[in-house]
Amino acid sequence: MVNSYMAARQRGIDDIHVYGVEGDAGHFAFLQQHMSDNQIPEGRFTAFNAAIGPERGSAEWPLAENAADVYGGRPLDDGADYHGRRPQRTVTVPVLALRELRPPAHVGAVLQIDILGGEGELCETCIDAVTARVRRVFVGTHSRALDGQVMATFHRAGWSLENEKPTILKWHDGSPTLENLATVDGLQVWRNRHFDNTLSATGVE
């Protein structure tokens, strides 16, 4: 959020509003502190202590003793995380539907998705809504299967791949999930070609 805000400001854009969704309460506090530390006014950002998904609902989230020790939280699947562990303490968090989040932004929006394994389903389900209002998407991926699923979704929707690095994994038999095999996360950067001949509200590309 801070990086996007500062990058936009450096490009001469004045009408900036950044949004963030974070499920972990400790990391949500970090988010708010980070915005304050970088002197970003409260009226310039909106943050939700929630998870994100294709549909609205709720999810069980693992509680960490120290949020600074845990970077990889996501909603539990049948009580287990993607390492197959079953946390003793959990909390119920709301799940926001990506397609229903409609910030009052012009066609200059940049979207980053990094939800530790749900990127494929989220992109596939919400691609029409994303295509209608987002100029660029950065997607973190966490398995080779996600690499392919995300790429196929944006390819079918007519987007252009600007940059990509695949997930690096180390195989071990009996892994509880494919995400558990990842040693280095992947990244895909997509440009929405449907907006190639349009300008943002500020006229700044």
pTM: 0.88
What's the confidence (pLDDT) of residue 104? 55
Which tokens sit at 54? 């294709």
Q: What is the pLDDT of residue 72?
A: 83
Q: What is the pLDDT of residue 101?
A: 77
Instruction: Kindly report the backbone phi and psi dihedral angles of residue 70, in degrees, each rounded to the nearest multiple of 5, phi listed first.
Output: -125, 115
Bridge-based pairing of strands 51-53 and 90-97 is parallel
Q: Report pLDDT for 200.
A: 43
pLDDT the model gives residue 99: 83
Below-50 pLDDT ranges, the chain: 105, 199-205
The whole-number pLDDT of residue 65 equals 86
In order of their start, the domains of the chain are 2-195 (3.40.50)
Q: How far apart are CA 84 and CA 82, in angstroms?
A: 5
Q: What is the full DSSP assignment across 4-34?
A: HHHHHHHTT-----EEEEE--HHHHHHHHHH
